[in-house]
Amino acid sequence: MTWSHWEITPFITSVFFILGVLTLFWVSQNWIINFFNTHHWRVDQSLITDWYGLIYMMLFVFGMQTAVVGQNDAWIFMNFQLIGLTFCGYFLNVRVRYYYLYPLVFIFMGFNHSLYYWESWGHAVTLILFFTALGRLRKHVPLQTKQGQVALYLVTCAGFGAVLWWFMKLKFNLSWATYWQEWTYLLVFASLLYIYASMLSANAHLKQNLVAFANHDALTKIENFAAYKTAINYQVTSSRKNGSQLTMLMFDIDHFKQVNDTYGHLAGDKILQHVAQVATIVFHANNPQISLYRTGGEEFNVIFPNYDLTEALAVAEQLFAAINHIAVPVNDHQIQLSISIGLSELAADDQSPTAFYQRVDANLYHSKKHGRMQITAK
């Protein structure tokens, strides 16, 4: 097949074009999220998805319109633009208040030489209402809900699409045949978008669950030893490369085996959950970059990026005070808790993350050997 014998209709090429644009978005978005995760930058993934999606679709809309600005056929890419708006407003559920859209609408109208047409103003107001309606629909009818969801989505797209194309018909003096054809194409594109985005969303949700399962402790919901190994390898390498400070803390619950033997493993599980919750509160109150991991039965590790030993010791003392002597109610008993702590700063002669770990572990052992319920930092 050559370009001179290209027999695929514009409608089919449009379908593949839209799918290509969406696929590129998902691939690039996943790359950005993986980049943040690889560098252990703790950023809300929904924030990345929302704002990257909005920027991506704005570039898509303005980029396409550049080819037809000021021409008599400036309407030909409108369905693509409406699909971009639908993707942001419904599937990404970008929560942008309608009055924040005013500047974007004015910029686009000026860019498209449309500020002096009343039809364009009607079109702009309808676009804002369309975006708002998509957000409300998604909020009250979640994506995973089946009953009536597709119908509401399509009715919303069909209704606003009809009004939007009516303004274009008036402005460009389009025939009714063109109007109905473009409106039908919009519904087909919106249906394909729904199917494709739902499939990608389900796949992404499954992937996130698998990653979370692999890197989180099922009992305490904090990160596990596998996540710790990845993090400590990265942090040690980063500290060596950038000359930044790095401190690690290790603590475990005193006499935990005795608790299990006396009160049962369910009591032990409740204590582990309680300790993890208290520790998480303490660390997040100081710095969200402090990472807590359950690395053994009753053993926890904490990584302090950009902390020297003195700074980390101050946080360790807060943890020590928060957990020691608290009583956890289990059945009809009040179980008194205490912890032992060891911590140390990464040293120049630490040959590997394992050597660093062993030195911190030795400090924890020192605390337990010398009476428990104490901190060893050196």
Q: What tokens appear for 65 in the block? A: 């319109």
Q: Which residue has the tokens 């700063």?
A: 345
How do strand 339-345 and strand 375-377 relate by DSSP bridges? parallel
For the entire predicted model, the pTM comes to 0.61
Per-residue pLDDT reduced to its tens digit, 88-102: 878 776 666 666 677
What strands lie across the sheet with 339-345, from one edge to the other? 291-294, 299-305, 246-253, 339-345, 375-377
Per-residue pLDDT reduced to its tens digit, 222-264: 999 988 998 899 899 889 888 899 999 999 999 888 888 888 8
Distance between CA atoms of residues 120 and 240, nearest Å? 58
CB atoms within 10 A of CB 330: 18
Residues of the chain with pLDDT under 70: 1-9, 40, 42, 93-100, 141-148, 203-209, 211-212
pLDDT at residue number 24: 86
Distance between CA atoms of residues 228 and 189, nearest Å? 45
The domain spans of the chain are: 3-215, 225-377
Question: Residues 6 or more apart from 248 whose CB is under 8 A from it?
Answer: 232, 301, 302, 303, 304, 343, 344, 346, 356, 357, 360
pLDDT at residue number 204: 65
pLDDT at residue number 1: 42
φ, ψ of residue 249 in degrees (nearest 5): -120, 145
Assigned fold of 225-377: Alpha-Beta Plaits (3.30.70)
Question: Residues 6 or more apart from 185 whose CB is under 8 A from it?
Answer: 11, 14, 79
From residue 275, give the alpha-carbon distance in Å to each of 95, 154, 215, 259, 269.
36, 49, 19, 14, 10
Per the CB < 8 A criterion, the answer to whether 305 and 369 are in contact is no
Cβ-based burial of 171 (10 A; exposed 0-12, middle 13-18, buried ≥19): middle
pLDDT at residue number 284: 92
